[in-house]
A and B are shown apart, each in its own frame.
Chain A
């Protein structure tokens, strides 16, 4: 059993993410639902075959922004517990790049908060990715250049 008053777990890490650590962080006797999210490296992006992604973060600011997101979620859904971890470095197709766990007494707030958390992370947290393609080329991904968000 852990205390519901425990602060959010927020980290940028350089090695494989263990989802169970996030779940253990948010779990306590007062919650009835844990919604989790894993983002993984996809083999195809914008029609190009991806072989891997280098992730880079401005670590102190990235962790500050993730803490801010967690705090905002806690205001919107009282009693919410949050864990958000993003990995940096070179990742292969299939590797987990980001993990989120949101726990609440009820399932709807847990699921809604999880969705809100990943959407906020993608637009606010200073993390970048350089995609490597099967033809040997690479590019920094710029979501603002897409006409329609995925």
Chain B
């Protein structure tokens, strides 16, 4: 197991009480693995059923690979403008 730092923003940052969450996952893994692990962490129950994730500043799919050095972020529903 490794701890992957995952960036969280806005309402998700409120849910976890932090702006970065260390998520224990075996590497390499997938985006879906990261989200599953986050749901088990304190505050993770506040995540909605479907969560958007970005890897290295691009929207990722559940099957997108996550490995050492990747920048992973959970993206709440966007509301710019």
**Which A residues lie at the B interface, using CB under 8 A?**
39, 55-58, 60-62, 64, 86, 97-98, 118, 121-130, 140-145
Contacts and interface: CB of A to CB of B under 8 A. Distances in A.
- Point out which of A58, A64, A145 has the most chain B C-beta atoms below 10 A from its C-beta: A58
Contacts, number: 71
A124 to B, nearest CB: 7
B73 interface: yes
A98 to B, nearest CB: 6
Given A61-B57, A61-B58, A128 B9 contact: yes
Nearest to B11: A140
B57 A128 contact: no
Contact of B9 (A58, A64, A98): A58
Interface residues on B, range: 10 to 19
Given A56-B9, A61-B54, A142 B79 contact: yes
A143 B80 CA distance: 10
A125 B54 contact: no
A121 B80 contact: yes
Interface of B: 7, 9-11, 14, 54, 57-58, 73, 75-81
Contacts of A98: 80-81
Given A56-B9, A58-B7, A141 B79 contact: yes
B60 to A, nearest CB: 11
Contacts of B54: 58, 61, 126
Given A128-B9, A140-B11, A60 B57 contact: yes
A58 B75 contact: yes
A129 B79 contact: yes
Contacts of A56: 9-10
Contacts of A121: 80-81
B25 to A, nearest CB: 21
A19 to B, nearest CB: 16
B53 to A, nearest CB: 11
Nearest to A143: B79
Contact of B76 (A86, A118, A124, A140): A140
